[in-house]
Homo-oligomer: A and B are copies of this chain.
Amino acid sequence: MTKDSAHKKVKVHFEPDNTELVVEAGANLLEAAIDAGVHITASCGGAGTCGTCKVIIKSGEVESTRTEKVSDEEWEQDVRQACQSKVLTDLTVHVPVESRLEKAVVTRESKGTGETVATGWSFKPLLSKYFVELPPPTPQDNASDLSRLLRGLKQRYKLSNMTVDFDVVRKLPQTLRDSDWKVTATTLVTAVKPRAADRRRPRMINIEPGDTREKHYSLAFDIGTTTVCGQLLDLNQGRVVAEGIDYNAQISYGQDVISRIAYCQRGGCPKLQQAVVGTINGIFRQLLNQSRVDRQDIGHLAVAGNTTMIQILLGLDPKYIRLAPYTPAATFIPPVKASSLGIKVGDHVYLFTFPLVASYVGGDINAGIVGAGVHQRKTLTYYIDIGTNGEIVIGNSDWLVAAACSAGPAFEGGGIKHGMVATNGAIEDFEIDPSTLEPTIGTIGGEKPKGICGSGLINILAGLFEAGVVAQNGKFHTDLPTNRVREGKDGHEYVLAWASETQTGKDIVITESDIDNLIRAKAAMYAGCQTLVNSVGMTCRADLEQVIIAGAFGSHLNIEKGITIGLFPDIPRDRFTFIGNGSLLGARLTSFSTDLLDDARMVARMTTNFELSENTDFMKNYVAALFLPHTNADEFPSVKEKLQKNKSKQRTTV
Contact = CB atoms under 8 A, between A and B. Distances in A.
Contact of A146 (B198, B314, B332): B332
Contact of A329 (B165, B169, B330): B169
A564 interface: no
Contacts of A268: none
A358 B142 CA distance: 8
A144 B329 contact: yes
A104 interface: no
5 contacts: A139-B324, A142-B325, A146-B329, A164-B334, A177-B320
Contacts of A328: 144-145
A607 to B, nearest CB: 13
Interface string A144-181: 11111000000000000101111001101110010000
A333 interface: yes
Given A174-B317, A320-B173, A327-B137, A142 B334 contact: no
Contact of A142 (B333, B335, B359): B359
Contacts of A138: 325
A164 B329 CA distance: 13
A471 interface: no
Given A170-B329, A172-B329, 15 more contacts: A137-B325, A137-B327, A139-B324, A142-B325, A143-B331, A144-B328, A144-B329, A147-B330, A147-B332, A164-B334, A166-B333, A169-B314, A170-B316, A172-B330, A173-B320
B327 A139 contact: no
Contact of A194 (B141, B161, B169): B161
Contact of A330 (B144, B191, B327): B144
A389 to B, nearest CB: 17
A611 interface: yes
A169 B330 contact: yes
Contacts of A144: 327-331, 356
A6 interface: no
A316 B145 CA distance: 12
A326 interface: yes
A332 B164 CA distance: 10
Nearest to A330: B146
Contacts of A331: 143-144, 146-147
Contacts of A325: 137-139, 141-142
A336 interface: yes
A315 interface: yes
- Per DSSP, chain A at the interface is loop
Interface residues of A, number: 48
Contact of A191 (B163, B172, B320): B163
Contacts of A336: 166
A137 to B, nearest CB: 5
Contacts of A358: 142
Contacts of A201: 194
Contacts of A320: 145, 173, 177
A141 to B, nearest CB: 8
A169 B327 contact: no
Which of A143, A315, A335: most chain B Cβ within 10 A? A143
Closest 5 CB pairs of A and B: A146-B330, A142-B325, A166-B336, A144-B331, A144-B328
A403 B317 CA distance: 55
Contacts of A170: 314-316, 329
A173 B329 contact: yes
Interface in A110-159: 137-139, 141-148
A603 B561 CA distance: 73
Contacts of A327: 137, 142-145, 148, 173
A531 to B, nearest CB: 17
Contact of A169 (B146, B163, B169, B333): B333
A331 B324 CA distance: 51
Nearest to A340: B166
Contacts of A172: 329-330
Contacts of A330: 144-147, 164, 169, 172
Nearest to A191: B163
Interface string A339-382: 00000000000000000101100000000000000000000000
Interface string A558-573: 0000000000000000
A363 to B, nearest CB: 12
Interface in A512-538: none
Given A329-B145, A329-B169, A334-B165, A139 B611 contact: yes
A323 to B, nearest CB: 9
A316 B142 contact: no
A330 B167 CA distance: 12
A327 B142 CA distance: 5
Contacts of A198: 198
A514 to B, nearest CB: 36
A194 to B, nearest CB: 6
Contacts of A356: 144
Interface in A275-316: 314-316
Which of A194, A316, A330, A331: most chain B Cβ within 10 A? A330
Nearest to A333: B169
A2 B332 CA distance: 56
